[in-house]
Structure 1
């Protein structure tokens, strides 16, 4: 959200993307060592693509934190909000500021954003469960990230080819 006032259209886009993040995270959960693996990262990444840094971070953080709340993973609510929000900020910063705005920049941003996510959860889980358990959860987080990137890129390509992406995307 830039220096201008927040309008209804922005709030609606944030709410819709937060709902999509929640649904993709909540509906398909594969239990893992310290929680669950899901396809919600695809919608987190799509939030970055469509909404940009601030709005995307808010939608991603809210959607995933709500999922943790309703799934009974209370200890993860706050860390998840910040980890997913920072993930979106990293993706957008790489794609918009450090590298020219092209598909390669988005892929690099996604890889670095997801790497931050894996590291963020590993650090948090080290505090909660100890180092060995945190290390054991890394492979499932990496797989979740890779699947999320692939799904997001497929969806973004489809949205772009159908000209829907241009209408949704916030420039």
Structure 2
């Protein structure tokens, strides 16, 4: 394996682990049907530094495992896809747009839309899905803030390693 592939694989494994930990260990009940967590911030922070496939795995795998272990297994497959696409979008778009605010916001908006669809299916109710949107939007904003804080730190570490 080439040195760059090993490095990207290690960054991805660390990202998956930290997404899981930030989702599973740092959870605050939202009073509706789920919990706030910091997993999105980790997805946003790590995804710019890996290829889109690894970014999908960082977002999807760590989050889906956290859902299963937390008792939200009915959401695990949806989470795998939603959070995976969130990471994939960040990985693809970060090189095309200079604005991290724009790219991170798109990732958060996708997450809100994705969980709107998931909530419609899991709860078999469009109204519950609508009521979940503001809660998911708050989580997306929180994730963006955490991503903005962590991104420069990871970027500096990433540059030093090259």
TM range (shorter): 0.7 to 0.9
Structure 2 counterpart of 1:30, from 23, 28, 31 = 28
**8 Å Cα contact 1:92/1:109 also seen in 2:** no
Cα distance, 1:8 vs structure 2? 4.0
- 1:165 aligns with 158
- 1:77 aligns with 76
* Partner secondary structure for residue 34 of structure 1: coil
CA distance in 2, matches of 1:16, 1:82: 20
Could you list the runs of 5+ residues in structure 2 that have no partner in the other structure? none
**8 Å Cα contact 2:48/2:94 also seen in 1:** no
* Partner secondary structure for residue 30 of structure 1: strand
Point out the more displaced range, 44-53 or 8-17.
8-17
Point out the more displaced range, 50-59 or 82-91.
50-59
Scaled by the length of structure 1, the TM-score of the pair is 0.83
Cα distance, 1:7 vs structure 2? 4.6
Q: Does residue 113 of the first structure (1) align with residue 114 of the second (2)?
A: no
